[in-house]
Amino acid sequence: MGKQDKLLYRILTDRHNNGYNFDEMCSLLKSLGFSVIVRGSHHKFTHPHLKGILNLQPKKHEVKPYQVRQIRGALAALEATKETRK
C-alpha cells in the first residue's frame, strides 16, 4: 500500500480530523482527478463529477479540521457517483 493509499484509507476510516499534512492532502486530491486553482494561500479544488468547490488553506502545514470533514464528504460523494456511472 502506497503513501497516498494509506492517507486515503486513514481519511475514510478515521474519525479524527486533526493531523493531516496539507501538501500530502493536495497531492492526494490531484491524484484522484481534482483540478486545483491556487490564489494566495487558497487552494480551490474541483472535480468534473462533483458539484461545488473544496477550498483549502494551510494552518501550520496542516489541513484544518472542518476541511478534512468536507474532503471526507466529497470523497464519499465521488464514490457514490462511481457506482451510478457503472
pTM tops 0.85: yes
**Looking at the predicted structure, is the pLDDT value of residue 67 above 80?**
yes
Report the CATH number that the domain containing residue 63 is assigned in CATH: 3.30.920.30
| pLDDT value at 66 more than 90 | yes
Which among 64, 56, 78, 55 is positioned nearest to 8, based on CA atoms? 78
Q: Count structural domains, the chain.
A: 1
Closest CA to 58 of 27, 17, 21: 21
User: In the predicted model, what is the mean pLDDT of residues 6-23?
Assistant: 91
Whether the CB-CB separation of 44 and 55 falls below 8 Å is answered with yes
Question: Domain of 79?
Answer: 3-85
- For residue 4 the three cell numbers come to 497516498
Q: Minimal CA–CA distance to 11: which of 79, 82, 81, 84?
A: 79
